[in-house]
Amino acid sequence: MAAGLYGALRFKKKSTSPLKKLARRKFRGFPVATLAFYGPDDQFASKVAVGIIAEEGAPPMMLRLWSEGPDVRFDPSIAKQIADHLASHGVKSVSSVEQIIGCPHEEGIDYPDGEVCPQCPYWAHRNRFTGELLE
C-alpha cells in the first residue's frame, strides 16, 4: 500500500541556476534587474540582455549583453557572470521571462529599420511573446 502512495508522488528537481533562484523570489525592492533572452528562433537563446532599474519609474540605468557560445540560458559561466554583475550593483529583485522573446539582431544596426531580420526568418511577422504568426 505504501509503495502505491510513493509511486504516485513526483519530485520536481529544483534548478541549481543562480539566475533562476533569484528570479523565483518575490519582489524585494530596488534595484531590480530584468533579463530578456533572444535567439534566431524560439528554441535557442544566443543572447541575454540584462537591465538594471535603480528605482521605481526610472529607466534602466545599465544594459549589458552576453552572447557567446551555446544557449545562454544553460551556460553556467554566463549565469555566474550575470549573477556577479547583479551582486556588484546591489540588485535586490530579478524579473525574467522564461521564453525567448525575439531576434538577437538589432533593427537599425544589424538590418534596416522597418524590415525583418534576414538572419532570423522565424521572427518575421510573429508575436514575440505568444509565438503566434501575425496576420
Res 21: pLDDT = 66
Please report the domains of the chain, with CATH numbers, ordered by start residue: 15-105 (3.10.20)
Task: Please give the DSSP secondary-structure letter assigned to residue 4.
Answer: H
∠ CA 100-72-66, rounded to 5°: 100
pLDDT digits (tens, 9 = 90+) for 24-76: 677 788 999 999 999 999 999 999 999 999 999 999 887 899 887 789 998 98
Res 128: pLDDT = 80
Backbone angles phi, psi at 46, to 5 degrees: -100, -5
Res 7: pLDDT = 47
Q: HSE of 39 in the Cβ direction (CA atoms, 13 Å)?
A: 17
pLDDT digits (tens, 9 = 90+) for 68-78: 778 999 898 99
- The grid coordinates of residue 6 equal 510513493
Backbone angles phi, psi at 117, to 5 degrees: -65, 125
Q: Which candidate, 72, 43, 114, places its Cα nearest to that of 124?
A: 114
Q: Which helix (H) or strand (E) holds 94?
A: strand 93-100
Quote the CA–CA distance of 133 and 135 in Å, as a whole number.
7
Quote the CA–CA distance of 89 and 50 in Å, as a whole number.
12
- The grid coordinates of residue 65 equal 549583453
